[in-house]
Amino acid sequence: MNVAVSALKPRHKRASNGKPLHVVPTNHNSEVHQVQDLIMSSSSSSFSSKKLRVYGGKASFMTWRLHDVLPVAKHHWIPCVFAMGLLFFMGVEYTLRMVPSSSPPFDVGFITTRSLHLLLASKPKLNTLLAGLNTVFVGMQTTYIVWTWLVEGRPRATISALFMFTCRGILGYSTQLPLPQGFLGSGADFPVGNVSFFLFFSGHVAGSVIASLDMRRMQRWEMAWTFDALNVLQALRLLGTRGHYTIDLAVGVGAGFLFDSLAGKYEESKRSKAPTKTGTKEAFFL
């Protein structure tokens, strides 16, 4: 820019009488154009260099050195474990023989709980007792989730449960899995009686996860750990009675986390749009 300023300024000389003499060079316009071209070329080269760094630079892995790669397993061991899992299950998936359509689904949970299944099948009263206790636990989940909204004024768990059961209904109707062989129903179970129900995914497990996450937010640690322990026992019973496949229970856990997060985002969006000084409560929730 100093070049530009000096070029645009008129040059001054002193005459023989000591007064300044204003002299404009004959090539003034050409110098101005040269300066403008210089500025444009410099800005253009700067833009080109930035563009080169973004699009035409080296790939990230080409800058790696041995001392960059070695600590990865130590500081990022969880992604490394998942990377090994990816390679392992790619080998399993492409070498495993498919289950024939005429055969029942293969389920690791059913194999693990085979002894429990035989026990409950031989003792119907024990099966009914456990089903009744499980129904009580479902009632505890429902009571807590509704309590947080109606009494404590915190609707997140309720919104999460509404999201979850709606999505469960859509998925359960879209893919209606066959009832597992050896299903042990009970009149004390929920849904009450030997009625039809959606297998995918487990609303029992997802509801328990939603309640447990809310308890942790409120630092009700003992209640949360109790619900988690009861949820594990509930999952074992559902596998033992062949009331759910293993995938139903696993997705139920993930669904609890997912819909709790979505309910939180929904609350945040409503709070950001809500007026700050209205003096009235929002209808229904906030």
- What average pLDDT does range 104-131 have in this prediction? 94
Nearest by Cα to 195 from 185, 205, 203, 204: 185
- 14 pLDDT more than 80: no
- What average pLDDT does range 11-20 have in this prediction? 53
Surface-to-core class of residue 165, CB atoms within 10 Å of its CB (0-12 exposed, 13-18 middle, 19+ buried): middle
Q: Give the whole-number percent of the chain exceeding pLDDT 90.
A: 52
Considering 117, 189, 244, 260, which one is annotated as catalytic?
244
- The rounded distance, in Å, linking the Cα atoms of 109 and 247 is 9
Question: Does 189 qualify as catalytic in the annotation?
Answer: no
pLDDT tens-digit series, residues 53-110: 544 577 877 888 887 777 888 888 899 999 999 999 999 988 988 889 888 899 999 9
Looking at residue 136, what is its pLDDT?
A: 94
**Tokens standing for 102?**
């005429």
Looking at residue 108, what is its pLDDT?
A: 94
Considering 117, 189, 204, 260, which one is annotated as catalytic?
204
Considering 117, 189, 214, 248, which one is annotated as catalytic?
248
- 18 pLDDT more than 80: no
- 140 pLDDT more than 80: yes
C-beta of residue 209 within 8 angstroms of C-beta of residue 234: no
Looking at residue 61, what is its pLDDT?
A: 75
- The rounded distance, in Å, linking the Cα atoms of 252 and 249 is 5
**Tokens standing for 214?**
């809310």
- The rounded distance, in Å, linking the Cα atoms of 131 and 152 is 30
Q: Give the whole-number percent of the chain exceeding pLDDT 70.
A: 74
- What average pLDDT does range 160-182 have in this prediction? 92
- The rounded distance, in Å, linking the Cα atoms of 239 and 232 is 11
Question: What is the distance between the terminal CA atoms of the chain, rounded to a whole angstrom?
Answer: 58
pLDDT tens-digit series, residues 183-199: 988 888 877 655 567 88
pLDDT class for 8, splitting at 50, 70, 90?
Answer: very low
- 45 pLDDT more than 60: no
> If you write DSSP's letter for every residue of 137-185 in order, what string do you get?
HHHHHHHHHHHHHHTT---HHHHHHHHHHHHHHHHHHHS-PPPPTT---
Question: Does 22 qualify as catalytic in the annotation?
Answer: no
pLDDT class for 279, splitting at 50, 70, 90?
Answer: very low
Looking at residue 7, what is its pLDDT?
A: 47
Question: Does 244 qualify as catalytic in the annotation?
Answer: yes
Mean pLDDT computed over every residue of the chain:
82
- What average pLDDT does range 191-210 have in this prediction? 82
